[in-house]
Amino acid sequence: MQLSDGDPARHDDVWLRIITNERHITKSGLHYAALKGAFKPPKVNRPWSSEASGRLRSLCGAPEEIASQATDYCNKLGGGQKFVGLMFASVGVINDQLPPDHSTSVHYTPITQGKFEDAAHADLTVAGPPIAAKSEQEEDLLQFLHGKFKIVHPYQMDFLPPAAQPTLVEPLPPEKATPTLVGYLSGIVRMIGQFFSRR
């Protein structure tokens, strides 16, 4: 199914964000400073209160292309920023509840024009009341998100996990996704049928 602007990303996709500061990568992984101040209110009306820019793994090509695009992005910035790594997490891991009244997820938000046009653009979004700077909610959000992310250096791009292609795989409705004995048996029968039909 083709994603449209504002759609939630698939659970099995991966959200990633360019890191431009070496200090945001530590020996133990991501520095929480990479998240602090990264969330901004959406520029257009959205069902979430803040967002941080990133991309969907399924839409941005092979690892070497991602690295090349990240370098291009930094060059376009023109401020001497360098591509020093990527932070990433599975959308399924990001989709979560932050009690008492916030939730985090990823939404597809392509940038369709301008210098930073990006068909793979997606935001990490926070739904719920706006979170004030220096508030306890902000602290909770940072601690909540910090453990979800992994990082890769530019020379480690092959470690980026793959993502399902959203145009190729239809998500199953929840009731059909529940494994049952009948489901297993019909699956086996279908596989056997496909095996013999190819021969």
Partner 1 sequence: MTVARRPKSDTAPPAIAMPDTSVDDFVARAWYEAGTRLRSNEFRILCRAPGSETTINPADFLALLHEFSSGIIHIPAFSKKAAMPIKPLHIDQPMLFMSAGMGKSHLVQQYVLELMRSRLGALTDPGPYVALLDAVEETVPEHLIGFEQYSAPNWDGFDAVAIAPQTLSYARKLMRVLPSTLGEPDTAPAADGSIALQWVPEGRKHPLEKLFLDIGPGEEWRAYWTMKDGSRGRQPGTLVNDNTKIILEQLFRKLSK
> In whole angstroms, how close is the CB of 114 to partner 1 at the nearest point?
15
Q: How far apart are CA 12 and CA 1, in angstroms?
A: 14
Q: How far is the CB of 192 from partner 1 (least distance, A)?
A: 47
Q: Please, which of residues 2-61 interact with partner 1 by CB under 8 A? A: 18, 20-21, 23-24, 26-29, 31-34, 36-38, 40, 53
- Which residue's CB is nearer to partner 1, number 16 or number 166? 16
Distance CA(192)–CA(123), nearest Å, equals 42
- A 10 A CB-CB count for 83 gives 20
Do 74 and 81 meet the contact criterion of CB atoms below 8 Å apart?
yes
Q: Which residues pair with 193 in a beta bridge?
A: none
Q: Which residues 6+ apart lie within 8 Å of 129 measured at CB?
A: 49, 101, 102
Asked if 146 interacts with partner 1 (CB under 8 A), we say yes
Site membership for partner 1, residue 190 (CB under 8 A):
no
- State the CB neighbour count (10 A cutoff) for residue 123: 25
- Binding part of the chain for partner 1, among 3-11, 69-77, 94-102, 107-115 by CB under 8 A, reads 69-77
In the complex, minimum distance from the CB of residue 99 to partner 1, in angstroms, rounded to a whole number: 12
DSSP secondary structure code for residue 20 in this structure: -
Strands 29-30 and 25-26: antiparallel
Residue 164 within binding range of partner 1, rule CB under 8 A: no
* Complex with partner 1: residue 117 or 184, whichever CB lies closer: 117
Report whether 101 contacts 30 (CB < 8 A): no
Q: How far apart are CA 13 and CA 160, in angstroms?
A: 12
Q: Which is nearer to partner 1, 29 or 183 (CB)?
A: 29
Considering only residues 78 to 137 of the shown chain, the ones binding partner 1 according to CB under 8 A are: 79, 81, 133-134, 136
What are the residues binding partner 1 (CB under 8 A)? 18, 20-21, 23-24, 26-29, 31-34, 36-38, 40, 53, 73-74, 77, 79, 81, 133-134, 136, 139, 142-143, 146-147
